[in-house]
């Protein structure tokens, strides 16, 4: 913590032993250029500490400040075993509760406490959750080239590496394109020549998948991420155009502001709908499941508060016939990725896990980082998450502010209107 003296805010009952939380702090590092936020909780037992993912890449300064100045002091003096009570206390403590900043701060605390619990028990976290229902989590990677040919070349390489599923995106004119390279000056004569054209996107995306099936065959599971840029009617039209290509899922077809329309989009779409990445409320995620908005719930687990709320949503998915497909590209820390895999291997609701191959620098900062084997992600068998943080390496990779914002400010239509990034 910075700026505040450790203070005990009062335990509600006597603890059965003398173990206490002594320090809570955020560490920000960017070994691949993307800012990652990790919370470290130290205890009165020498060497016993826990790590949790609190990564909100676009507002990492705010999350770190929330952890160091507001959340951390609430925990000092508490027993680390009281995970449920501590997470509820942190959730209610801000009065205006929820939102991605506070929920990521909460997630860092929550996952760090689970890490400590596993280390105290001498067990990996997945065993604390009831043990495995599968050996490993099947995962997918992204292919996104400037042309259809480049995209399919990337996809073929991913499949050759042992993966069975791949997400496909293809470039287009405009600097605001998502998931694949765009090009400047793509719309000469327009008020904003670097704009993204929704009508071209709707025309070209089915062509990509027709080409993919011709080149890759019938077996691979293919996905596509709309990235929330369509109206409900446009989303239905795209889904129907993609029907012949048998997508494993269509991701985020409409913006979260219009999730009340997701049930009708899902009902009209011939393929499964995956959504929820941008939610920062566990109750909103529960509504998506209960009201029939999704086939696969796709959350950034830290944005809803961490492992504790996520496992409650997992139980709801199990009872509702909904699958899980957690968000996890480069802007999830290896600690968060380990939490995803622990959830994946302990629930029958699991469907697929978004993957990312972390580079060497990440493995140096986070020893124990999970690496894929033939497209599968196996949980660590070490106590807790099985991941540590090398802070000497972490400081060698300082974060840069406004990386995302510089791109998002240029995501516009050719007429100059701002678009959801």
pTM higher than the cut 0.85: yes
Instruction: Return the pLDDT at 8.
Output: 54
Q: What is the pLDDT of residues 301-330, one digit of tens each?
A: 999 999 999 999 999 999 999 999 999 989
pLDDT for the residue numbered 175: 87
Q: Is the pLDDT of residue 6 over 90?
A: no
Please state the rounded mean pLDDT for residues 65-72: 97
Q: Are 50 and 115 within 8 A, CB to CB? A: yes
CB 350 within 8 A of CB 323: yes
Task: Give tens-digit pLDDT for 177-231.
Answer: 899 998 899 999 999 999 999 999 999 999 999 999 999 999 999 999 999 999 9
According to the model, what pLDDT value does residue 11 have?
81
For position 53, what pLDDT does the model report?
98
pLDDT of 112 above 80: yes
Rounded-to-integer distance, Cα 338 and Cα 125, Å: 9
Q: How would you class 266 by CB atoms within 10 Å of its CB: exposed for 0-12, middle for 13-18, buried for 19 or more?
A: buried
What is the mean pLDDT of the segment spanning 58-84? 97
285 pLDDT higher than 50: yes
| Angle formed at CA 415 by CA 413 and CA 420, multiple of 5 degrees | 25
Is-catalytic flag, 245?
no
Q: What is the mean pLDDT of the chain?
A: 95
**For the segment 368-392, what is each residue's pLDDT rounded down to a tens digit?**
999 999 999 999 999 999 999 999 9
DSSP alpha helix (H) spans, 129-224 = 148-160, 198-216
The single residue of 227, 327, 356, 397 carrying the catalytic annotation is 227
Percent of the chain predicted with pLDDT > 70: 98
Residue 58 phi, psi (nearest 5): -75, -15
Q: What is the pLDDT of residue 367?
A: 98
CB atoms inside a 10 Å sphere around CB 291: 12
pLDDT at 4: 44
Cβ contacts of 120 within 8 Å, gap of 6 or more: 48, 80, 81
User: What is the mean predicted confidence (pLDDT) over 390-407?
Assistant: 95
pLDDT at residue 176 above 90? no
CA atoms within 13 A on the CB side of 237: 11
Q: What average pLDDT does range 330-354 have in this prediction?
A: 98
Q: What is the pLDDT of residue 12?
A: 87
What pLDDT shows up at residue 183? 87
Give the residue ranges of DSSP H helices in 55-197. 60-65, 72-75, 83-93, 100-121, 125-128, 148-160
With 0-12 / 13-18 / 19 or more C-beta atoms within 10 angstroms meaning exposed / middle / buried, residue 321 is exposed
Residues 227-253: what's their mean pLDDT? 97
Domains and CATH numbers, the chain: 128-383 (3.20.20.120)
Q: Is 61 a catalytic residue?
A: no
**Of 126, 163, 178, 376, which is the active-site residue?**
178
What average pLDDT score do residues 396-401 get? 96
Residues 6+ apart with CB under 8 A from 17: 79
Whether 7 has a pLDDT exceeding 60, the answer reads no
| CA 24, chain centre distance (Å) | 23
């Amino acid at each position: 913590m910075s700026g505040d003296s450790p203070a005990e805010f009062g335990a509600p009952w006597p603890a059965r032993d003398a173990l206490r939380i002594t320090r809570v702090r955020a560490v920000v590092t960017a070994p691949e250029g993307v800012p990652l936020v990790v919370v470290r909780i130290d205890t009165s037992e020498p060497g016993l500490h826990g790590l949790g993912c609190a990564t909100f890449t676009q507002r990492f300064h705010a999350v770190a400040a929330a952890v160091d100045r507001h959340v951390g002091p609430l925990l000092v003096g508490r027993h680390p075993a009281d995970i449920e009570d501590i997470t509820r206390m942190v959730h209610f403590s801000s009065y205006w509760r929820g939102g991605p900043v506070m929920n990521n701060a909460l997630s860092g605390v929550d996952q760090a406490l689970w890490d400590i619990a596993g280390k105290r028990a001498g067990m990996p976290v997945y065993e604390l959750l009831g043990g495995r229902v599968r050996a490993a989590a099947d995962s997918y990677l992204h292919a996104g080239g400037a042309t259809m040919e480049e995209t399919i070349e990337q996809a073929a390489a991913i499949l050759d590496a042992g993966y069975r599923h791949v997400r496909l995106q293809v470039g287009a004119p405009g600097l605001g394109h998502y998931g694949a390279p765009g090009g400047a000056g793509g719309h000469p004569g327009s008020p904003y020549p670097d704009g993204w054209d929704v009508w071209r996107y709707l025309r070209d995306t089915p062509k990509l998948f027709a080409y993919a099936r011709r080149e890759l065959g019938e077996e691979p599971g293919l996905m596509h991420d709309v990235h929330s840029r369509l109206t409900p009617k446009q989303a239905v039209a795209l889904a129907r155009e993609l029907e012949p290509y048998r997508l494993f899922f269509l991701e985020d077809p409409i913006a979260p502001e219009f999730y009340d329309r997701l049930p009708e989009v899902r009902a009209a779409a011939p393929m499964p709908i995956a959504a929820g990445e941008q939610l920062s409320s566990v109750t909103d995620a529960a509504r998506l499941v209960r009201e029939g908005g999704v086939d696969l719930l796709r959350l950034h687990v830290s944005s809803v508060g961490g492992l504790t709320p996520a496992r409650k949503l997992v139980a709801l998915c199990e009872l509702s016939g909904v699958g899980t497909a957690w968000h996890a590209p480069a802007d999830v820390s290896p600690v968060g990725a380990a939490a995803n895999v622990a959830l994946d291997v302990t629930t029958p609701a699991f469907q697929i896990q978004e993957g990312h191959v972390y580079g060497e620098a990440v493995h140096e900062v986070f020893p124990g980082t999970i690496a894929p084997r033939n497209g599968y992600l196996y949980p660590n068998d070490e106590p807790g998450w099985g991941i540590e943080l090398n802070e000497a390496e972490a400081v060698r990779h300082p974060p840069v502010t406004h990386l995302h914002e510089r791109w998002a400010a240029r995501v516009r239509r050719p007429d100059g209107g701002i678009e959801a990034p």
